[in-house]
Amino acid sequence: MTTNTLNSFNDKASIAEFGFQGAAQIPSFGPHKFQYAVPDKELYVFRKDLFNPVLYWLRSDDCKKEGLYLTGPAGSGKTSLPEQIAARLNWPCLTVSCNSRMTVAELIGYTQLTCDPVTGDQTTQWVDGPLTTAWRNGFILILDEYDYLDVTTSAGLNGVFEHKPLVLDQNNGEVLKAHPFFRIITTGNTAGLDDETGLMTGTQRQNPANIDRFMTLIVPYMDLSDELSLLQGHFPQDDQGRETFPTDVLIKMLDVATAIRKQYIGNLDSSSSGEGQFTFTMSTRTLVRWAKKVIMCKQIKSNDPIVDALAMSFTNKLSSAEAMAVKEIVKLKFGN
C-alpha cells in the first residue's frame, strides 16, 4: 500500500542497512507515491563520525532553523552520504548541481503556456522548481557545489534555511509553509568562504551571514580499510568463493591513490605534511573506474592493463608533468 503524502515515519530500517552491527532500527518511510525521487541504493561505506551527526540533524528540530553544509576534497563522498542515507530511509531526495548563473527563481519555479486540448485556449500554468517541489512535499534538497553560486543567489536562500514561508510571486503570490520533512543540504569543495588552494576554479566566496546559517561537517577521504571494503564490494567473490579482482592489486592501487592524495594541493592534510604538487586528486570513483578498466584491458589483451587502464581513468586528464609523476608512483608501488 502506498501513501499519497509523507505524513510520518511509518516504517523502520535496520541499522545493518548502513553497514553497522546491532539490532537497532531507524524510523523510515514506507512505500509512497514519490518513489521516483528516492535515490537508488548504491555501495557506500558509512562512517560513524559522519553518519551519526547527519542522521541526528535530519531527525532533529535543528534542521528547521539551519542547513547542513558538507565540505571536503573532491571525490570524498560528500554528496553520496546524504543521498545514500535517503535511499535507505526511503526518503525522496533531489540533487541540483549549482552554477554561477543559477538564480533563486530557477529553483522556485516558473510559469508556462499551455493549450487546452479541447478548446484550444492558451493559459498559463505554474510549474514547481526543485526547491518548491521539495518544500511542498517533504523531500531532501541537496544543492551540490553550493560554493559555485553567485552570492546574490545564495543570500536569497537565507530564509529557506530557516524554513520561513516561501512566497511564489509568479503564482499569484501563493505562500507556502515548509513541509515538516523538508530538509536542505549543501556540499562544496570549499567551506563557502576562501579557496586556499586556488584550484577550485569558479567557486565564490559566500557571504558570512549566509554561511552562518549552516551546521558544517568536513568529509575527508575514507580510511584505507573502509575504502578497500568498498572496492571489494564492487568485485564480489564468484560462486566458488574465488576473488573476481585480486585484493593485493586493489591494495597497491589504494597505495597509489594515497600517495597522490598526500601530494594533492587541495588535500586538507597536505599543508601540514609540507607536500603538495598535484592539482588533481584520485577519488574513490576514479579508483573504481580504474579497476573496472583493468578488467576491460585484460579482456582486450592490452600490453599493460594497469597502466593503460590508469591512463583511461586518470592520467590522460593530467598535465604531462603530473602524468609522468603518477607513472613513477605506479612503478614504485607495482614494481617495473
3-state secondary structure string across 281-329: CCCHHHHHHHHHHHHHHHHCCCCCHHHHHHHHHCHHHCCHHHHHHHHHH
Predicted pLDDT at 191: 66
Nearest of 281, 277, 336, 262 to residue 306 by alpha carbon = 336
Backbone angles phi, psi at 325, to 5 degrees: -65, -40
C-alpha to C-alpha distance for 118 and 112, rounded to whole angstroms: 18
Least confident of 62-76, 141-155, 195-209, 226-240: 195-209
pTM: 0.87
C-alpha of 174 from chain center: 32
- Domain assignments of the chain as residue spans, ordered by start: 11-218, 224-334
Q: Which residue has the higher pLDDT, 279 or 139?
A: 139
| Non-local CB neighbours of 17 within 8 Å, separated by 6+ positions | 88
Q: Residues 110-122: pLDDT tens digits?
A: 888 887 777 777 8
CATH superfamily of 11-218: P-loop containing nucleotide triphosphate hydrolases (3.40.50.300)
pLDDT band with cut points at 50, 70 and 90 for residue 186: very high
Q: Residues 26-54: pLDDT tens digits?
A: 999 999 999 999 999 999 999 999 999 99
C-alpha of 67 from chain center: 15
Secondary structure letter of residue 56 according to DSSP: H
